[in-house]
Structure 1
Amino acid sequence: MFNNLKGLYTKEMAKKVEAMTLDVLNQVNPQTSAEAEATESLHMISGSRKALFIGINYVGQKGELRGCVNDVVNIKEFFQKHYPLDDMMILTDDKETEPETNFAPTRKNILSAFRWLIRGAKKGDSLLLHYSGHGGKVKNADGTEKSGYDQTVVPVDFQSSGQIIDDDVHDALCKDLPEGVRLTAIFDCCHSESIMDLPFIYNVNGNLEIVENDRNAAISKLVAGGTRLLLDRKNKKAMMNFGKDIMGMVKDAAGSKDGRSADAKQEHVEANTTDADIIMFSGCQDMQTSADANIAGEATGAMSYALVKTLEGHLRERITYTDLLREMRETLEGKYTQVPMLSAGRRLKLDQPFTI
């Protein structure tokens, strides 16, 4: 009985600490701040549709995959059927599976294809990019990555020509794309959350996920620490440590650790914010892997499968970007550890219907 009362007491203390913590965090980093709110609508699509599909199985190489070329076939067929494409290019390393392949997915050809995709794009045009293959990470050389690593696209000839880092992906696809163009990118690969170096990452509610994650992490730590402190008020050392933790965590949650991280975050946002409407669905978070799966007897990327399955279930009534993310996550949840992500090149209202 004593243990039960102690448990109830702990829960009650935790609620009080959570309320106080939220009050503090809302003052230093309000959830309704400009950083946390999407404010801009997507431009209308009124021009041509152009698509690039890249699937790499790394046939005959160590780390060979099985489902990436199938992903290209399935994604291409879905979008051709429901969103007629005016022009497209296909890069795969399996011509038996995909005979329409234009080029091999070498490093040189992938970068050339990126440039082809955005060339001549104007307001009202819609561009689609789908990549299924290996994603990697390499040590960041210029100190611009918080994790210390650049995320990479892995070409079929990566052993001789190297990988394509996220900075180069961003420069090739995002930097010069004009206002009013929409680029929808789908990266079904490992470590893909920031593969395009887009500054705004969204959750299923349409809020900026990085803001919510910072707040939730701080709240969890502060609630745990504060509850322990209230249960042991005589422990002066615990009280001093909790005071230090509060200051550090509040600074982290506010994005202002000694004033440096806030500046670095703002510089990244300003440098990578795009004029065009660029939206990316990625297979997983930067520290996760994406599954090369076998579903219904076919080799496929788990995220590509979830995307097509979800969209096919909403052909009559278009699904929003955020609901698409939610349903994709629900499809994979419990079967795979990866968490699909949604990011954008500028602050956008993503409760609008998905279209290309």
Structure 2
Amino acid sequence: MKKNLVALMLSSVAAASALVGCGVPGASMVNGETGSLKGMSAVTGTKRAFLVGINDYMMQGADLRGCVNDIKNVQANMLSAEGFKANDTTVLLDQQATRENILAGLKAAVAATKKGDFLYFHYSGHGAQVRDTNGDEPDGMDEILCPTDLASGPNGFKNAILDDELQSILGQLPAGASMLFVSDSCNSGTVDRLNRVRGLNLENNTRNLDAVRVNTKAMSTFAARANSGAYTLISGCQDDQTSADAYITGTYNGALTYYLVDSYKKGGQAMTYADWHKATVSAIKANRYSQTPNLQGAANAKIFSIVN
């Protein structure tokens, strides 16, 4: 049965253009994606991971099903094969993933990253758009990650993590380090009765929403504001789509994460990010999900490598 999906995700081609225009190291346009024009090398330092998966939200009606499985799948079937060690991996699941803990964990991961290190950041959970308050967003909207303790208040939503905050933290990645950011989400969503999607429309009463997933524009814009480091971004879908919180082979998973890991297991470590993206898109389409994952950054670099 075809999986119909609705709503939106993050900016794609325009954001990729911003990456190039702002001089992100090693970035160039490749068929609507960005690709490395510079060299690459094996990781000589530490491989570090910061993983966030949230099914359990304190806000009524917002729970998801596949986000925790996403993180377990990534750990068991991809990061272990890449040599990521438990001591260098931080995992926040469900009610551990508060605003305070996410920001503290991400700051710690970036601060610990040195030249020659690789940082992997995976987010599976809700997010949304809210009105911009400082005038730095051309579309008048700030994108947010939604931690488990997101709550409504008299002046809007409390405990949201703004894209500006993510940009400030991730922009501290040092020169000579590289980072992969995977977000299985979209930036707003409406209800799909056949499958859940990831994103919250905060303009509506979320009590009446089925669970939906999010991605934030921070996934594409933080790199444009970063001063150093090499960034690759993989997100769940295009602007007019949503990322499925789907039932696959007997368990709930994010469609992006499931087929990203599956393509990794089949393709191996010799793939470039462009190869990996292409294989993942093909698998998602073959299984009749109407979402197309987005790739930005060092597309021509080998996966999990340092882009010089």
User: Scaled by the length of structure 2, what TM-score is found?
Assistant: 0.71
User: Letter of the aligned partner of 1:123 in structure 2?
Assistant: K
Q: Give the match for residue 127 of structure 1.
A: 119
Write the distance in 1 (CA, Å) between the matches of 2:222 and 2:110.
20
Q: Give the match for residue 142 of structure 2.
A: 150
Question: Once the 2 structures are TM-superposed, how far is the Cα of residue 314 of structure 1 from its aligned partner?
Answer: 1.0
Q: Give the match for residue 324 of structure 1.
A: 276
Asked whether the 8 Å contact 1:71–1:132 carries over to 2, the reply is yes
Q: Give the match for residue 241 of structure 2.
A: 288
1:201-256 Cα offsets, whole Å, 9 max, x none, are xxxxxxxxxxxxxxxxxxxxxxxxxxxxxxxxxxxxxxxxxxxxxxxxxxxxxxxx
2:164 pairs with 1:167: yes
Distance 1:111 1:59, change over 3 A: closer
* Larger RCO of the pair (alpha carbons < 8 Å, separation 6+): 2
Question: Once the 2 structures are TM-superposed, how far is the Cα of residue 351 of structure 1 from its aligned partner?
Answer: 1.9
Distance 1:66 1:35, change over 3 A: closer
Q: Give the match for residue 15 of structure 2.
A: none
Q: Give the match for residue 68 of structure 1.
A: 67
- Alignment RMSD (CA, Å): 2.3
1:40-74 Cα offsets, whole Å, 9 max, x none, are 33454100111111100025731211000011110
Q: Give the match for residue 93 of structure 2.
A: 92
Structure 1 residue matching 2:218: 3-state secondary structure: coil
2:109 pairs with 1:117: yes
Find 2:180's aligned residue among 178, 181, 184.
184
Write the distance in 1 (CA, Å) between the matches of 2:143 and 2:289.
21
Q: Give the match for residue 260 of structure 1.
A: none
2:250 pairs with 1:297: yes
Write the distance in 2 (CA, Å) between the matches of 1:118 and 1:168.
13
Question: Once the 2 structures are TM-superposed, how far is the Cα of residue 297 of structure 1 from its aligned partner?
Answer: 1.0
Asked whether the 8 Å contact 2:57–2:94 carries over to 1, the reply is yes
Gaps of 5+ in 1: 1-33, 95-103, 201-268
Distance 1:196 1:73, change over 3 A: same
Question: Once the 2 structures are TM-superposed, how far is the Cα of residue 119 of structure 1 from its aligned partner?
Answer: 1.5
Distance 1:153 1:59, change over 3 A: closer
Distance 1:337 1:144, change over 3 A: farther
> Which of the two has greater helix per residue?
1
Write the distance in 2 (CA, Å) between the matches of 1:106 and 1:286.
27
2:267 pairs with 1:314: yes
Question: Once the 2 structures are TM-superposed, how far is the Cα of residue 287 of structure 1 from its aligned partner?
Answer: 4.7
Asked whether the 8 Å contact 2:66–2:253 carries over to 1, the reply is yes
Write the distance in 1 (CA, Å) between the matches of 2:273 and 2:119.
16
Alignment of 1:1-356 (within 5 A): 36=29, 38-58=36-56, 61-86=60-85, 87-93=88-94, 104-159=96-151, 161-173=158-170, 175-191=171-187, 192=215, 194-198=217-221, 269=224, 272-315=225-268, 318-333=270-285, 335-344=288-297, 348=298, 350-355=299-304
Question: Once the 2 structures are TM-superposed, how far is the Cα of residue 81 of structure 1 from its aligned partner?
Answer: 2.5
Q: Specify the structure having the higher radius of gyration (Cα).
A: 1
Number of matched residues? Answer: 238
Write the distance in 2 (CA, Å) between the matches of 1:54 and 1:153.
11
Question: Once the 2 structures are TM-superposed, how far is the Cα of residue 85 of structure 1 from its aligned partner?
Answer: 1.9
Distance 1:41 1:149, change over 3 A: farther
Question: Once the 2 structures are TM-superposed, how far is the Cα of residue 185 of structure 1 from its aligned partner?
Answer: 1.1
Write the distance in 2 (CA, Å) between the matches of 1:35 and 1:125.
23
Write the distance in 1 (CA, Å) between the matches of 2:239 and 2:98.
23
1:16-40 Cα offsets, whole Å, 9 max, x none, are xxxxxxxxxxxxxxxxxx9647533
User: Letter of the aligned partner of 1:310 in structure 2?
Assistant: S
User: Letter of the aligned partner of 2:218 in structure 1?
Assistant: I
Write the distance in 2 (CA, Å) between the matches of 1:114 and 1:302.
24
> Which of the two has greater strand per residue?
2
Question: Once the 2 structures are TM-superposed, how far is the Cα of residue 79 of structure 1 from its aligned partner?
Answer: 2.9
Write the distance in 1 (CA, Å) between the matches of 2:246 and 2:147.
20
Structure 1 residue matching 2:231: 3-state secondary structure: strand
Write the distance in 2 (CA, Å) between the matches of 1:114 and 1:47.
19
1:83-132 Cα offsets, whole Å, 9 max, x none, are 122311110127xxxxxxxxx10011100011111113211011111111
User: Letter of the aligned partner of 1:77 in structure 2?
Assistant: A
User: Letter of the aligned partner of 2:263 in structure 1?
Assistant: T
Write the distance in 1 (CA, Å) between the matches of 2:218 and 2:260.
18
